[in-house]
Amino acid sequence: AQSVTQPDIHITVSEGASLELRCNYSYGATPYLFWYVQSPGQGLQLLLKYFSGDTLVQGIKGFEAEFKRSQSSFNLRKPSVHWSDAAEYFCAVGQMDSSYKLIFGSGTRLLVRP
Amino acid sequence: DAGVIQSPRHEVTEMGQEVTLRCKPISGHDYLFWYRQTMMRGLELLIYFNNNVPIDDSGMPEDRFSAKMPNASFSTLKIQPSEPRDSAVYFCASSPWDRGIYGYTFGSGTRLTVV
């Protein structure tokens, strides 16, 4: 069965510093991969997605993620964090077959120091 | 497009009462999903529909939970009778068939509190 692991529950970075959030997935074939962001009391907003092609994908708000098949990873990065980036980030995996299930990781809460 | 619309945003009910959550997906999206978010269990897929037909309800926790999609623009998630452990945020999401290109779009959620 497919699964997603986000090993970091909390991450704290200083404003202006770079950010990398880790995501590892378990799936027998190439999956669809997504990163979502959730601000307090809000729904989930899609940051970026990967389904084929270039393994480095660009998203909104200056985020990018790199798909590494050999490491079963899809880490999210941002070169310079802004205070408004403080939120919870979820990695998700979807199967490329007929199932449309989207399975989420447990999330990483990002705190930004001024 | 107005996005995925959920109602109500907040619901407080007493244990034993029936609760109905509502969702309007994005027009043209073939798939609709119901998720539940709790601190303990994170985001769990409860059920999803394709063209109004339930495809996978393996995540529905108990018989007290039921979901329907009578037409392409409306779905409900019902809990009867409700219990305090059902307190959570319930999200609805929709997706077109080519989800790899467009992704899944989530509503703002319904925060349910059962007292």
Quote the pLDDT of residue B1. Answer: 66
Mean pLDDT per block of 10 residues along chain B (115 residues) reads: 92 98 96 95 94 95 95 97 97 89 90 98
* Contact flag B106-A36 (C-beta cutoff 8 Å): yes
Quote the pLDDT of residue A15. Answer: 97
Of B100, B103, B107, the CB nearest to A43: B107
Instruction: End-to-end CA distance of chain B: give it in Å, rounded.
Output: 36
* Contact flag A44-B91 (C-beta cutoff 8 Å): yes
Give the model confidence (pLDDT) of A52-110 as tens digits.
Answer: 888 999 999 999 999 999 999 999 999 999 999 999 999 999 887 778 888 999 999 99
Residues of A with CB under 8 A from a CB of B: 32, 34, 36, 42-46, 49, 51-52, 90, 94, 96, 99-107
Collect all residues with Cβ–Cβ distance below 8 Å to B110 and sequence separation of at least 6.
B6, B7, B8, B9, B10, B11, B21, B89, B90
